[in-house]
Structure 1
Amino acid sequence: MTALPPGSTIGILGGGQLGRMLAMAAAPLGFDVKIFVPQDNSPAERTAAGATVAGYDDLDAVEAFARGCDVVTYEFENVPADTARAVERAGVPLRPGAQALEVAQDRLKEKTFVNESGAATVAFAAVSSPDDFAGAADSVGFPAILKTRHGGYDGKGQAKVGSAAELESAFDSLGRRPCILEAMCGFVREVSVIAARSLDGDFVPYPLAENEHRDGILWRSTSPAEAKPAVNDEANRIARAILEALDYVGVIGVELFECEDGALLVNEFAPRVHNSGHWSIEGSQTSQFEQHIRAVAGWPLGDPAPLGRAQMVNLIGEDAETWPDLARESGAHIHLYGKNDIRPGRKMGHVTRVSPLKS
């Protein structure tokens, strides 16, 4: 397996902040990055060597874009699987492969896949029509959460359900689309593990992160999280099992619920660099973004060792307007994503602070 030399071109499907930070991480390694994105003037486009602005359904444009790259990756999980397959048809390596997208884009497939990989989840059942209400209610119980199988993020595309009588209205509120009913979990906290798998199968996990949400959106991640060795080991085992089952190349984020007894349940995985790993830019020997570039380029994986205890806080909506105060704060590492419009609930940037590890 030949590693791509400096001067090679890495293509990225998607033009958001993750693509922006991937492009920034690729530059010091000598790579050029090209972006494929439906909208002009995207955050990633402005840090890349070039961009193709076309729709994801323009498969001729996708194939032409791919042929101008040495390898292609993606920066968010809602890139259509047909788009990913077009890259493969062009004869250009796609890392991670299209299967990871296909699984992550369907919550029912995802939960089933995770269970088949040897990791636990909450109880769940498919709800495609009112005919499924009774069976889903019996197998999952209440309280529960009804979620659309496709789309939805940061708390969108879901509704809490307290009883069987509420299923009809919840299903209506979600547009009567195919859904999944998930049992609510009495977890003590959410944690996540960021991990990478190389082209030759090496597995490298980052320290566990503890995550806090506000209004369904990740607000703060702290890593390394305080956790028993058995919890760390189990999180790494789960991540490795998912990566290997997908024959995955690149960085993945796996969100986990930690129960009172220390058991871990997989909430979901993201086949890309992950918001809860942003701390690694200043808090680790090798950031998750450089790690992903290394993996897809066929390079050896870097050292994920922490440089301190890092706390990353998302700047959501008007939080971004506090940048003058953050700029005056010693030790505050500010990342603004170059988004033109501030909207409630929109991730505009993040700030990371790193303190010494406890001895």
Structure 2
Amino acid sequence: MKRIGVIGGGQLAWMMASAAQELGIELVIQTPHDTDVAVSLATEIVLADVDDVAATAILATKCDAITFENEFVDLEGLDKLAIAQNVSFLPPLTALAPLLDKYTQRCYLRDLGLPVPQFAVLEQPELPPGFEFPVVIKARRNGYDGQGTFIVKDASVLAALYHRYPDTPFLIEEFVKFDRELAVIAARGVNGEVITYPILETQQEDQVCRRVFTLDDLPTEIVATCNSIASKLLTSLGAVGVFGIELFLTADGKVSVNEIAPRTHNSGHLTIEACATSQFSQLIRAVAGLPFGSTALTCGGAVMVNLLGYEDTHSDYPDKRQQLAAIPNAHVHWYAKESRIGRKLGHVTIVVGRDDEHQDYLSQAQSLARQVETIWYP
């Protein structure tokens, strides 16, 4: 396979394109703006919205298979296109179908026997039977980076939210009193092989990922449970590609599934520097039918910090980026986006060694994360 199409042209596609170049594979991008960050590395561009099926038909004539940067697509239209033009979508559209709506995703996971929080469709502005405050309310489609997710603590807020978005279908979930949030980055190849990366811990603020850490203190049974969930899910879906699986871990050691992203994921960005093969290279390998690379850590550990916009500005923060780059073993990835409050503008990964002076890896990693955030945020 020499050419892969990607629906989407943001930072995930940009990092895919860099990995594809290393493997000698060209990427053709379908994206709405010629200023989108992936355009600079793409071999060819189809300028169109990601849900423009007619544009995807053109994209299909320029590549051997098509993968996805995000899931905001017209699945029904793509299904007709796949039949009409014999287009190879990877992950297959049948793997995406149960996941794009958060309610059907929850049902799929439950029916597969995987642990999930209590959930229901929110059909009226009050708690369904069996729920108690606080609860989590999620838009069933197109939510990301905290958008469309609300933690609701009382009846008045629930009623106000319901009436504020009268046309938005919502899912209601129990609020899980987790001890840690974990993430598994997993890949499945065309031959059915499933591989997983080292389990990660993510830290969220306002439902947006702020920091990601590699871990060295998880009990082996927790690691095995997380990897088993990933393998069972990807195998059941018949997936081909890379998936991000977000998990809750409670203080008593119980693991449940939070959400599934059927693509490369923010929590896996540190694999670029910390692992033998990045999640982006693994995706290209999966789609192209190439052997997987090793997922092993190549360092003692790593921490990744998202650089979120804290003001609306055209500035690209050159001074702060220079300070971040001066941190030993830091790698700054800048997405060349216009700054908006809460928008992911880039990320910093710092690889960490192991020595006698720093036996407590997590404490060291957390200190480095604070150093990054002290520089970045006013």
Q: Normalising to structure 1: TM-score of the pair?
A: 0.92
Instruction: Report how far residue 55 of structure 1 moved.
Output: 2.9
Match of 1:146 among 129, 134, 137: 137
Structure 2 equivalent of residue 349 of structure 1 = 346
Q: Distance in 2 between matches of 1:104 and 1:310?
A: 30
Distance 1:326 1:57, change over 3 A: closer
Q: Distance in 1 between matches of 2:9 and 2:164?
A: 30
Instruction: Report how far residue 176 of structure 1 moved.
Output: 4.5
Instruction: Report how far residue 45 of structure 1 moved.
Output: 1.3
Residue 62 (structure 1) aligned with residue 56 (structure 2): yes
Q: Distance in 2 between matches of 1:25 and 1:70?
A: 17
Q: Which amino acid aligns with 1:267?
A: N
Structure 2 equivalent of residue 302 of structure 1 = 293
Q: Which amino acid aligns with 1:33?
A: L
Structure 2 equivalent of residue 198 of structure 1 = 189
Residue 111 (structure 1) aligned with residue 106 (structure 2): yes
Structure 2 equivalent of residue 96 of structure 1 = 91
Q: Distance in 2 between matches of 1:173 and 1:275?
A: 30
Q: Is the 8 A contact 1:129 1:178 kept in 2?
A: no
Is 38-47 or 281-290 further displaced after alignment? Answer: 38-47
Q: Which amino acid aligns with 2:341?
A: P
**1:218-255: CA deviation from partner (whole Å, max 9, x where unpaired):** 11101135211011000001111110111000110000
Residue 158 (structure 1) aligned with residue 153 (structure 2): no
Structure 2 equivalent of residue 315 of structure 1 = 307
Q: Distance in 2 between matches of 1:205 and 1:87?
A: 32
Q: Is the 8 A contact 1:114 1:120 kept in 2?
A: yes
Structure 2 equivalent of residue 208 of structure 1 = 199
Q: Secondary structure at the match of 1:281?
A: helix
Residue 53 (structure 1) aligned with residue 36 (structure 2): no
Q: Is the 8 A contact 1:129 1:176 kept in 2?
A: no
Q: Tell me, which stretches of 5 or more residues in structure 2 are unaligned?
A: 360-378
Q: Is the 8 A contact 1:144 1:161 kept in 2?
A: yes
**1:27-54: CA deviation from partner (whole Å, max 9, x where unpaired):** 0111010001122221111111111002
Q: Secondary structure at the match of 2:29?
A: strand
Match of 1:183 among 148, 171, 174: 174
Distance 1:87 1:328, change over 3 A: farther
Q: Which amino acid aligns with 2:322?
A: P
Structure 2 equivalent of residue 122 of structure 1 = 117
Q: Tell me, which stretches of 5 or more residues in structure 1 are unaligned?
A: none
Residue 15 (structure 1) aligned with residue 9 (structure 2): yes
Instruction: Report how far residue 195 of structure 1 moved.
Output: 0.6
Q: Distance in 1 between matches of 2:159 and 2:80?
A: 39
**1:265-301: CA deviation from partner (whole Å, max 9, x where unpaired):** 1000100001000010000000000000000111111
Q: Is the 8 A contact 1:145 1:181 kept in 2?
A: yes
Is 301-310 or 138-147 further displaced after alignment? Answer: 138-147
Q: Secondary structure at the match of 2:45?
A: strand
Q: Distance in 2 between matches of 1:160 and 1:100?
A: 29
Q: Is the 8 A contact 2:324 2:330 kept in 1?
A: yes
Q: Distance in 2 between matches of 1:121 and 1:129?
A: 23
Q: Distance in 1 between matches of 2:101 and 2:178?
A: 23
Match of 1:284 among 275, 284, 287: 275
Q: Secondary structure at the match of 1:245?
A: helix
Instruction: Report how far residue 86 of structure 1 moved.
Output: 5.0
Q: Is the 8 A contact 2:53 2:78 kept in 1?
A: no
Q: Distance in 2 between matches of 1:248 and 1:17?
A: 22
Detail structure 1 runs of 4+ shifted over 6 Å in the superposition.
none
Q: Secondary structure at the match of 2:130?
A: helix
Q: Secondary structure at the match of 2:290?
A: coil
Match of 1:36 among 30, 39, 49: 30
Number of aligned residue pairs: 348
Question: How many percent of aligned residue pairs carry the same amino acid?
Answer: 37
Instruction: Report how far residue 128 of structure 1 moved.
Output: 3.2
Distance 1:109 1:336, change over 3 A: same
Structure 2 equivalent of residue 231 of structure 1 = 222
Q: Distance in 2 between matches of 1:75 and 1:22?
A: 9
Q: Is the 8 A contact 1:77 1:271 kept in 2?
A: yes
Residue 252 (structure 1) aligned with residue 250 (structure 2): no
Distance 1:330 1:126, change over 3 A: same
Is 30-39 or 320-329 further displaced after alignment? Answer: 320-329
Q: Secondary structure at the match of 1:65?
A: helix
Q: Is the 8 A contact 1:193 1:239 kept in 2?
A: yes
Q: Is the 8 A contact 2:188 2:194 kept in 1?
A: yes
